[in-house]
Amino acid sequence: MEGFISSLILLFIWLISTLLLRAAFQILRRNNPRLHHPPSPFALPIIGHLHLLGPLPHQSLHALSQRYGPIIRLHFGSSPCIVASTPDAARAFLKTNDLAFSSRPSSAAIRTLNYGESTFIFAKYGPYWKFMKKLCMSELLNGRMLDNLGPVRHEERVSMIKCLLEKSKANEEVDLRGELMKLSYNVITRMVMSRRGTDAGGGISDVREIVEESERITGTFNLEDFVWFFKGLDLQGVKKVAKDVHERFDRIMEGVLKEKEMERREGKGREHMKDLLDVLIDVSEDENAEVKLTRDDIKGFSMEVYVAGTDTSSITIEWALAELINHPSILYKAQAEIESIIGKTRLVKETDIPNLPYLQSIVKETFRLHPPAPFILREAAKDCVVSGYDIPKKTRLIVNAWSVGRDPEYWEEPMEFRPERFMEEEKCAGVDVRGQHFELLPFGSGRRGCPGASLGLHVVNTTLASLVQCFEWRVGEGEVDAVVDMKEGSSFNNPREKPLVCVPVARFNPFVTVG
């Protein structure tokens, strides 16, 4: 017994000594006088700056940037990080030094959920990632595919509008987050596997729940990812939950792939256009392809399409509508623009959007204040110098898109929701949302910019236009001047804290023939 206690004491002494020595080494390395580091707050041993992060990390990092500058150095546990918080700082990393920051950091949850690190979004910059990016641009998310899927998006939008019109007749409240997520989920499922997600069998209807759980897990702070001593221990059970979610998704996709393979053997399914799975299977069977896609590659890419495409669009539309309810004069102006271009005889179409500049400005202003991905994450592939600062290899880069959209040096009245800025101010008029300009970064930028930006814009612009065209919105108990709470929720995709629940009041029914 005494020997056991002595062994525990020795183990405890060794552990404390190791932690202290490692912390001292990290402090010496951080303060190397030969390197020119960005400014940094005081760090604690072992945890570094983790104590400075609140429940909304993008707001915490924004507050730190206000005090220490547009480029700051932090240590989250044993992980060195650089945070960029202004348009100029974002440009320095994502354009001037794009190649040096063309890889993404991963996490234990992501590796467990997404078939290791070979998936497209989190793949290291190299031959596999380049092949998948080219495949996305040429086959999976190109203009032809998006045009072919136009009727699918229209059908799902019509289905949602008809549902809301029924709710309006009954004077019922609607959980718009739920309705918008259903719309996005059905669009993505029909794009991936030619099935309507909410109606499909074989467990496909469960994918929506799996996507929500995946987002929650990947947004959970996990000690294993940041403090070296906890690596591999899974003390919080994150990997255990991620493994369960992964296995559920894998079973569903395995069933879908087997059905696809049977259809292909029997020559069925050729009457409809190819979906994403058809294209990926074709590539996997191509002996001359630059990269041989595996079954796991196909499943992993499908998972990423769901996670990247379902919530981001619905959250953006929900934020936009909440802002319009709180700014009725902007809502009325958007309705007047739509009526002047389209009239009162039909539902707005995707082809109408280029003729609705004010509606597009509303979407841009929503992206500015409520980016669906507040953080753009990269990792330094080599030692480099950015804006005069030495950035060591393996340093994590965090571009705070939420902070960039509130930069007072660029945006006038940055906290105000004012779509007019994109039509009236010369410096804002040409700002692009696809990453060409660094004042707005809803889809990232550079090599690792989101390849699904065009699809997302189609869904967001036309769905918002339809909701504006067809309805007024009543919140609360119908009291005059009721406003929507605009608090943010704690998740990596920047949702509202509470779902937008309101009563739709029909102002135009595009499905009723007049005369």
CB 373 within 8 A of CB 492: yes
Euclidean distance between CA atoms 509 and 346, whole angstroms:
8
Residue 468, H or E segment: helix 453-470
pLDDT of 24 reads 53
Phi, psi of 359 (to 5 degrees): -60, -45
- The token pair at 42 is 């005081």
pLDDT of 334 reads 97
Is 450 one of the annotated binding-site residues?
yes
Q: What is the pLDDT of residues 131-181, one digit of tens each?
A: 989 888 888 888 888 898 899 999 999 999 999 999 999 999 999 999 999
468-475 mean pLDDT: 94
CB 81 within 8 A of CB 395: yes
Tokens 């020559």 label which residue? Answer: 267
Euclidean distance between CA atoms 515 and 513, whole angstroms:
7
**Above 90 in pLDDT, residue 380?**
yes
pTM: 0.89
CB 446 within 8 A of CB 141: no
State the DSSP code for 275: -
Q: Which residues, 6+ apart, have CB-to-CB distance to 25 below 8 Å?
A: none
Give the Å distances, CA to CA, from 448 to 84, 344, 395.
17, 42, 17
Q: What is the pLDDT of residues 392-440, one digit of tens each?
A: 999 999 999 999 999 999 999 999 999 999 998 888 888 888 888 899 9
Q: Where are the alpha helices (DSSP H) in 194-294?
A: 207-218, 223-226, 238-266, 276-284
pLDDT of 344 reads 87
Burial degree of 108 (CB within 10 A; 0-12, 13-18, 19+): buried
pLDDT of 114 reads 80
More confident position, 77 or 14: 77
CA atoms within 13 A on the CB side of 494: 26
**Above 70 in pLDDT, residue 293?**
yes
Q: Which residues, 6+ apart, have CB-to-CB distance to 408 below 8 Å?
A: 414
pLDDT of 17 reads 45
Residues 122, 126, 131, 135, CA torsion sign: positive
107-115 mean pLDDT: 83
Q: Which residues, 6+ apart, have CB-to-CB distance to 86 below 8 Å?
A: 65, 70, 403, 404, 407, 409, 410
